[in-house]
Amino acid sequence: MTVTLNLPRNVEQSYLIAAQVKGVSIGTLLSDVLLSHAPVTEAGQPSPVSGPQVIQSHGVTVLRTGYPLLASVVNETLESVRRERDFGALGSF
């Protein structure tokens, strides 16, 4: 597919620099950006671009799967972390 984008010059420059830093063409970079924001599939799930990726974000290892987490999973994880923190603080008394 061929698409023509009319971007503000500063946005275009940002993408050109990002492509150069990654060592890829601007077309490849923009394809990756578009695919990472692809609409959901017929089954209602996002289309993962290239499978799970492990990245570093703000000093924390993150697993990116391309699928959203359920709110219940987030809540259970936060509760577990808080419990561990509280038990750790109680253990120091």
The pair of structure tokens assigned to 73 is: 């999973």
The reported pTM is 0.42
Note whether residue 2 is domain-resident: yes
* Angle in degrees, CA 2, 7, 8, rounded to 5: 165
Examine the domain organization and report whether 2 and 31 are in the same domain: yes
Q: What integer pLDDT is reported at residue 7 of this predicted model?
A: 86
pLDDT above 70 covers a percentage of the chain that reads: 83
Examine the domain organization and report whether 57 and 93 are in the same domain: yes
Helix axes of 9-22 and 26-36: crossing angle, nearest 10 degrees: 100
Please write the tens of the pLDDT for every residue from 34-56.
877 766 655 555 555 566 777 88
* Structural domains counted in the chain: 2
**For each successive 10 residues of the chain (93 residues), what is the average pLDDT?**
85 90 88 74 56 79 78 88 84 63
Examine the domain organization and report whether 61 and 93 are in the same domain: yes
Q: What integer pLDDT is reported at residue 5 of this predicted model?
A: 84
Q: Supply the range of the domain harboring residue 6.
A: 1-37
Could you give the residue ranges of the DSSP H alpha helices within the chain? 9-22, 26-36, 71-91
Note whether residue 42 is domain-resident: no
CB 23 within 8 A of CB 16: no
